[in-house]
Amino acid sequence: MRISSLRLQLLAWVVLPLAGLATINLWTSHGNALATADLVTDRMLLGSARTIAERVAMTDGVLDATIPPAAIEMFDTGDRDRVYYQVKTARGRLLTGYPDLPEAPKAPSTEATFRDQRLRLLTFSHTVIGAGADSPITVTVGVTLAGHDAMVNRLWLSDFTQQLALVAIAGVFVLLGLHRGLAPLIRLRDAVRSPSRNDLDPVKVPGAQSEIRPLIDALNAYMERVRAQMAAQRRFIANAAHQLRTPLALLSTQASYALRESAADQRQEALVALQASSGRLARLAEQLLTLSRAEPGSRRPRADRIDLTEAARHVLETQAPAALARNIDLGFDESGPVPVVGDGTMLREMIVNLVDNALRYTPAGGTVTVGLAASDGEAVLTVADDGPGIPADQREHVFERFYRLGDAAQEGSGLGLAIVREVVENAGGRVSLADGAAGGLVVEVRLPLAGG
């Protein structure tokens, strides 16, 4: 059985062992009570026997045994015990008392059954001066066990109540302590639940213990992260909407222009422009989609084993027509397979964006070279061009979403490098920008090589 309540759990952990200990303690204290009662009864039996023995004397040449009342009355403790006695001479002649009372050794007393009653018995022998062969006499005294048992119970009961009280008090204190100890957790719960709280504001729980404070700190840190993420998301959506609005407005203007135009060739011209605009819009939508897919947590993380060389070759084949159209010398510098682990689609998307940038921003007739190598346990992908490059102070900014260089003549959405960085970081790598040997830009991507 599992106990899900902390209170019950702690109560069980404290009170059950304590109750177990108390039980063991009670068992030993019962033994002690028994030993004490035995000892007291022994003393009384011995005292009684001795009192009787001392009264036995020779009167007029005859052994005479008179039982002094005190020897019997000393057992009168209010428990209605019966006392049996017997006085015999050394030769076995009964002087007085019950003839069939069994004899017992001198202390400690023994238990025996007499006339269907349990007795404690003790026999005491005593020399009577002048009694000749009748001396020593033996005196046996027995007493029923009511007083003895009552004493055991009295001694033991007080122990029992003490132990019970101890366990109960411990339980109460555990509950009280828990109530106090759990109070900050309850306050934390109320603080998080409180409808008056502004969303994701840090919670404050004054008086929280050192065990609970890390939980509160972690919660606050987590909410801070979520808040930052939500803010970024909001910014992104606002930006995206803004970016979509401009080309959509343009599209609408171009459409009205085409509608108004009656001359066939001018209408044709307007339609071509409209088609180009819608193409750019489609590209923007595609880039937005790719970026949202590249974000961590948007797809099930994939860990395919990808040959980057193969992926790059595939990208170059698809980009070859664009290079040809602008008379750009698109080269591939590789030396065999370079395996990495990651999301294949996203890694290809990353290469597409780098090659696309190089082709787009390099003037017609330029050179773009894609290089792939494995070094120091890393896959190194470089995309070098001899275009205008990116000024050093802009190199951090171009990775931001929607950021484009002011004088960028080419159309673009400003999302390509943001996608590149997102993909590279998800794959555990890093990306950097540098100057090319003959001017232009060199983008270098380093990814961990797949082992084995």
Ligand X SMILES: Nc1ncnc2c1ncn2[C@@H]1O[C@H](COP(=O)(O)OP(=O)(O)OP(=O)(O)O)[C@@H](O)[C@H]1O
The size of the interface with ligand X (CB under 6 A), counted in residues, is: 22
Stretch that binds ligand X, among 87-95, 151-159, 260-268, 357-365 (CB under 6 A): 357-365
Q: Is 135 a binder of ligand X (CB under 6 A)?
A: no
Of 357, 395, 384, nearest to 440 by C-alpha is 384
108: cis peptide before it, omega within 30°?
yes
Contacts of 302 (CB under 8 A, 6+ apart): 342, 343, 344
Look-up of token digits 């001018």 = 266
CB closer to ligand X out of 346 and 415: 415
Q: Is 412 in the site for ligand X (CB under 6 A)?
A: yes
From the CB of 352, what's the least distance to ligand X, in Å?
Answer: 9
Q: Is 415 left (phi over 0), alpha (psi -120 to 50) or beta?
A: alpha
| Whole-number Å distance between alpha carbons of 130 and 124 | 19
Length of the chain: 452
Q: How far is the CB of 424 from ligand X (least distance, A)?
A: 13
Residue 415 binds which entry of Mg ion, ligand X, none, CB below 5-8 Å type-dependent: ligand X
What does the DSSP 8-state code read for residue 240? H
Residue in the shown chain whose Cβ atom is closest to Mg ion: 416
405 touching ligand X, by CB under 6 A: yes
Residue closest to ligand X (Cβ): 416
Q: Does 416 bind Mg ion (CB under 5 A)?
A: yes
Q: Counting beta carbons within 10 angstroms of the beta carbon of residue 364, is it exposed (0 to 12), middle (13 to 18) or buried (19 or more)?
A: exposed
Q: If phi over 0 gives left and psi between -120 and 50 gives alpha, with beta otherwise, what is residue 153?
A: alpha
Question: Residue 16 belongs to what H/E stretch?
Answer: helix 6-55
Task: Note whether 14 binds ligand X by CB under 6 A.
Answer: no
408 forms part of the interface with ligand X (CB under 6 A): yes
- What are the distances in angstroms from CA 429 to CA 230, 414, 449? 25, 22, 10
Residue 441 interacts with which of ligand X, Mg ion, none, CB < 5 to 8 Å by class: ligand X
Query: Which of ligand X, Mg ion, none binds 385 (CB below 5-8 Å, type-dependent)?
Result: ligand X
Out of 390, 427, 445, 449, the only residue in the binding site for ligand X (CB under 6 A) is: 390
Tell me which residue has tokens 């039982």. 67
Residue with tokens 């959405």: 413
In the window 22-61, what residues touch Mg ion (CB under 5 A)?
none
Instruction: Kindly indicate which of the ranges 27-35, 189-197, 341-349, 352-360 contains the residues binding ligand X, using the contact rule CB under 6 A.
Output: 352-360
Residue 405 near which of ligand X, Mg ion, none (CB within 5-8 Å, type-dependent) = ligand X
- 416 near ligand X, judged by CB under 6 A: yes
Min dist. Cβ of residue 321 to ligand X (A): 17
439: left (phi over 0), alpha (psi -120 to 50) or beta: left
Considering the complex, state which of residue 156 and residue 361 has its C-beta at the smaller distance from ligand X: 361
Question: Which residue number, 9 or 327, has a Cβ lying nearer to ligand X?
Answer: 327
By CB under 5 A, the residues from 322 to 381 that bind Mg ion are 357
Minimum gap (Å) between residue 289 Cβ and ligand X: 12
- Determine how many CB atoms are found less than 10 A away from the CB of residue 166: 15
> What's 393's DSSP letter?
G
Q: Where are the alpha helices (DSSP H) in 261-400?
A: 264-294, 308-325, 344-361
- Contact with ligand X (CB under 6 A): which of 388, 434, 436, 448? 388
Residues of the shown chain interacting with Mg ion in the complex, contacts defined by CB under 5 A = 357, 416
Residues of the shown chain interacting with ligand X in the complex, contacts defined by CB under 6 A = 287, 353, 357-358, 361, 385, 387-390, 398, 404-405, 408, 412-418, 441
